Chains A and B, each alone.
Chain A
Amino acid sequence: MTQDKAENQNGELVVVKDLVKYFPVRGGVLRKIVNWVQAVDGISFSIRKGETLGLVGESGCGKSTTGRTILHLLDPTSGTVVFNDQNVFELQRQEMKVLRRDMQIIFQDPYASLNPRRPIGESIKAGLNIHQVGTPTERTEMVLDILHKVGLEDYHYHRYPHEFSGGQRQRIGIARAIALKPKFIVCDEPVSALDVSIQSQVLNLLQDLQDEFGLTYLFIAHNLSVVEHISDRVAVMYLGKIIELASRDDLYSNPLHPYTKALMSAIPIPKPSLRRTRTILKGEVPSPLDPPSGCRFHPRCPIATEQCSVEEPEFVEVMKDHYVACLGVGPQNVRI
């Protein structure tokens, strides 16, 4: 408890420690467990009150699993998540229900997460009903208020999900997430399915709501440019591990891990006058069923040494608030 208090003095709302999530792979007639997908394999980080922590990585790196496990939508294999002084995984059902008011999630595909047979106003109200906020009339008022906040109108209340465009549906997804006035929202690829002109509308909305309600975001995305735009700090994941974590400006001006460098180099920049030679990574992301030994990035790493295939690098703070897991990047060879 003393430690939690100390952490809270740092203004940390969510503290993730050694989080591990494996999914069993079953096979054979008896459906015995034959292997494990090591989706998230021992990650630690914290999210400060009111900040946006970006979590970026390629498909299958474990970023969505991380988000869902933090909210206890998935049971962890091991590790702890402390939210506002409470270990999320040790709570009783009733306590968890209370806590859920404070932590919400926005999904990539809002159409798949809305009930097609229910007017969206009712979908937004569902959370208010479950937690019995105010009287029924007050709840309807609250929903209308939230609709306005996300840029929708009164008459949308009685419409069904199929009547909305992708961008509007995402606004509904956001409305539902903020209905209970949460403290913390996991945004899981909230703009990936949207066209660019709509994407910027939704990103701006998320920022406005954060300013208005003092929200804390875990912003999960594969698009580094989007993550850079919205985040205060950024964590980069590769095959179930966080390999670099730093403030947004530090990470983008001084990326240290070779994977982060390659990832940034791979992004097409909309400036044709600045066509560059890029570092192109060889090969593809290995399977999380059987990740490489030592550093998981070593088979694709341009600076890997023999040591890298044997020794797993520790996740260390090499500069103030800049953490890296790479044997080639120690405090001794970082230029500041």
Chain B
Amino acid sequence: MTEHSDQFLLKIRGLKTYFYTEDGVVKAVDGVDFNVNRGEILGLVGESGCGKSVTALSIMQLIRKPGKIVEGKISFGSVNLRELPLEDIQEIRGNRISMIFQQPQTSLNPVITVGDQLAEVFEIHADLNNEEMREKSVELLRTVGIADPEQKALAYPHEMSGGQAQRVMIAMGLAMRPELLIADEPTTALDVTIQAQILDLMRDLRNELGTAVILITHDLGVIAEMADWVAVMYAGQIVEQAGVVPLFDKPLHPYTRGLINSIPVLGETKHRLADIDGVVPNLVDLPKGCNFAPRCKARKKYGLSICEEINPDLKEIMPNHSVRCWLYQDAEDHKAPLKP
């Protein structure tokens, strides 16, 4: 397991979250390990259905039926979140860990003013009188760059644009100065010029408040600009984990390589994009060996048969760089064809 530092704020080990549906057991998260350091931005990247959001909801203990966390340990500071009673979880949510979502407009209550919704956070978690709550709310709106915060505090969510609503969500998320902010696709619904504003804001707030961030996105560009540490997910598992520069400069897993090569990059024209054959496997009926094996070109190139038999472990094969792939791991009757 990768240990990039010893001061973990959050430490996840062997997390498995399954959904029991009519079609079978959907293994949305199937053995995830990672750490988040204080003040660090961890980028969690992967395509739709890879389990990024379910991982986030599992941390928040927000998995509802038919879903269930079946295994694993989620250590936040000194406590295992899975073992805490609901009351204590609620004390942590919004206070020490908070979360913002992709669709800010649908996450805000449409019939309550923005200021009152912000004040609610203080009502639950802090002992303040009404006047203090109002002042604090306005101050927060100012912090997240809302022009004319006194007026905007009286506005309803529908009176705000997508970018402004996301600022309000961030204000709400940061109201209690949490140690950890989970941002699930926070800029996906926004235009690029607004996305740039929001990312800038998140980075400034991290630097100012020292909040650790789990940034969930499918956009490798956003990861490259924001994250310190990156975990790449595929079909419910982390397939590669490293610091942001080594991950982009020297990706090891064939899936990570495929992803990085398949996106068009501004200013770099190539005649043809590399692509990854096939589609993401069905989470009810995962392949027997490595989840990526059916789509993997490297496996075919090196003629590896073990990939279809046994799923490799996520293994640290260079300092601070882990990968789940038989190309770099030996096993009984199997010699790794590549050295990192």
Contact = CB atoms under 8 A, between A and B. Distances in A.
B267 A203 contact: no
From A165, A226, A267, name the one whose CB has the most chain B CB atoms within 10 angstroms: A267
B196 A204 contact: no
B180 interface: no
B262 A281 contact: no
A270 B262 contact: no
A184 B224 CA distance: 37
A268 B198 CA distance: 12
Interface in A212-251: 222, 224-226, 228-230, 248-249
Interface in A50-86: 58-59
A284 interface: yes
B221 A270 contact: yes
Given A207-B272, A229-B264, A196 B218 contact: yes
A272 B245 contact: yes
B183 interface: no
B196 A269 contact: no
B332 interface: no
Contacts of B129: none
A263 interface: yes
A264 B218 contact: no
B44 to A, nearest CB: 15
A198 B279 contact: yes
A137 interface: no
Interface stretch (B77-85, B90-98, B187-195, B315-323): B187-195
B248 interface: yes
Nearest to A60: B191
Contact of A272 (B195, B218, B248, B274): B248
Given A58-B193, A263-B193, A269 B266 contact: yes
Contact of A204 (B163, B192, B273): B273
From B164, B192, B193, name the one whose CB has the most chain A CB atoms within 10 angstroms: B193
Nearest to B47: A195
Nearest to B279: A165
Contacts of B47: 195-197
A268 B225 CA distance: 6
Interface in B241-268: 244-245, 247-249, 258-260, 262-267
Contacts of B247: 272
A228 B193 CA distance: 17
A268 B224 contact: yes
